[in-house]
Amino acid sequence: MDDGEVLEIPYRHGDTRLPASMPEAVRHAWLTRALDGRVRQRALAGLVRDPMPWHVPFVVQLCGEYVVDVARDVLDYVQGSLATDRATVAAYGRFWRDNPQFVALTHARAASYWNAYHRGHSSLADYPPRLALLEIELCIDKAVRPSKVSPG
């Protein structure tokens, strides 16, 4: 995670009734791991509304899952507000650098779900979870290698 912290994210849980005293950002992060895909989708919307560096693994994890609508929302976020949020893009860059195995596994999971459920009617190149991951990488690359502006 950030600054060498280790974050263990449960794969799934059924615990959606959380204490009212729990901070909203923590609640949204926790609910991205809920059993119900609609709950995960609403939680994602809460996370990306006010992104924090520690949210990154929760968002990325959603790209390695089978709910395409959630991945579309990740893709919309990445192509929209993330693309212009330098601090959050930097957090994604650190996460990519520090967690290459997790990133590779997430890419592999996205490809595996496409192969199992979508191969017959869509291209992997157009599959939203894969596109979201590639777009995140594009944002990171642009931040690392900003385009040169020629002198006017």
pLDDT value of position 106: 98
pLDDT value of position 8: 72
pLDDT, one tens digit per residue, over 74-101 is 999 999 999 999 999 999 999 999 999 9
- Round to whole Å and give the CA distance between 80 and 138: 13
pLDDT, one tens digit per residue, over 33-79 is 999 999 999 999 999 999 999 999 999 999 999 999 999 999 999 99
Which of the pair, 135 or 145, is modelled with greater confidence?
135
Longest alpha-carbon distance in the chain: 58
* Cα angle 67-71-74, degrees, rounded to a multiple of 5: 150
Which of the pair, 14 or 116, is modelled with greater confidence?
116
